[in-house]
Amino acid sequence: MSNEEKILAMLTKMRDDLEEIISLIENKAQPQNKLSQREVFEEMANLLDDDEKDFLGRYQRMEQARKDAFCERDTWILPANPNDYDVDAAFRELKIVEWVQPRSLKNIKLGDFVYIYESAPVKAIRWKCRVGLVNVEVSEIDDSKFSRTGTALNEGPFIWLEALCEYNVGDSFSYAELRKNGLNSTIRSPMKVKGQLLNYLKIIDEMADRNERN
């Protein structure tokens, strides 16, 4: 059985058993001390083996993704140093890249959009991505060969970024153009995009989409 088939089988079984397990656990609690959803999942985890615990975590992330699908999307710019990490080659080959999630990204959500800005010598936004997972504690994607420093980051948390679009160097997302259209600071740390700059990114994206279709 392939990993995909195993995951599907476990998902089917978990969905079939979930309501029954929750009911049994809640019945164990006193009426005045009804368990919260978090406590229910913790109790469930105590009944599972390691593979099932891993799957339960994935199930919770899937449920959160479903809930977040109805939330408003935020847009972010994340800096990347091309001297430290070959982000272009990583996205082209892997399509999904793990990114360290610092405290400044604690509010990033599944489905948010992320623009990757490469610092000098590129000095431009090169990629548009969508957030696929957040708060990933253990590295699951081996991208060590793209490190230009010889250092691989294995300790989370991480976010997963799914590549949606690659922009050409010299397009309208250069640092100079961003400064003309709402960027009022350097890009040295993650930043949430709002106002004039957000509108500019949307306009350029729409133009790029039309050009690609034509």
pLDDT at 15 over 80: no
Residues 190 and 209 in one domain: yes
- Of the candidates 113, 124, 88, which has an alpha carbon nearest to the alpha carbon of residue 202? 113
The domain in which residue 34 lies consists of: 3-68
**What global pTM score does this model have?**
0.66
Angle in degrees, CA 138, 144, 146, rounded to 5: 130
pLDDT at 188 over 70: yes
Residues 94 and 191 in one domain: yes
Query: What would the pLDDT profile of 192-207 be if each residue is shown by its tens digit?
Result: 999 999 999 998 888 7
CA distance 69 to 63: 10
Query: What would the pLDDT profile of 41-57 be if each residue is shown by its tens digit?
Result: 566 566 666 666 666 66
Q: Which residues of 93-107 are buried (b: 16+ CB within 10 A; e: fewer)?
A: ebebbbbebeeebee
Residue 204 confidence (pLDDT): 84
Look at strands 124-138 and 113-118 and give their pairing: antiparallel
Residues 86 and 165 in one domain: yes
Cis peptide leading into residue 190 (ω within 30°): no
Q: Which residues of 184-203 are buried (b: 16+ CB within 10 A; e: fewer)?
A: eeebeebbebeeebeebbee
How far are the Cα atoms of 5, 87, 129, 161, 169 from residue 90, in angstroms, in the given order?
A: 27, 5, 13, 11, 17
Residues 47 and 9 in one domain: yes
Q: Which helix (H) or strand (E) holds 161?
A: strand 155-166
Where among 34, 49, 68 does a domain terminate?
68
Query: What would the pLDDT profile of 128-172 be if each residue is shown by its tens digit?
Result: 999 999 999 888 888 989 998 877 677 779 999 999 999 886 667
**The residue type at 196:** Q
Residues 48 and 103 in one domain: no
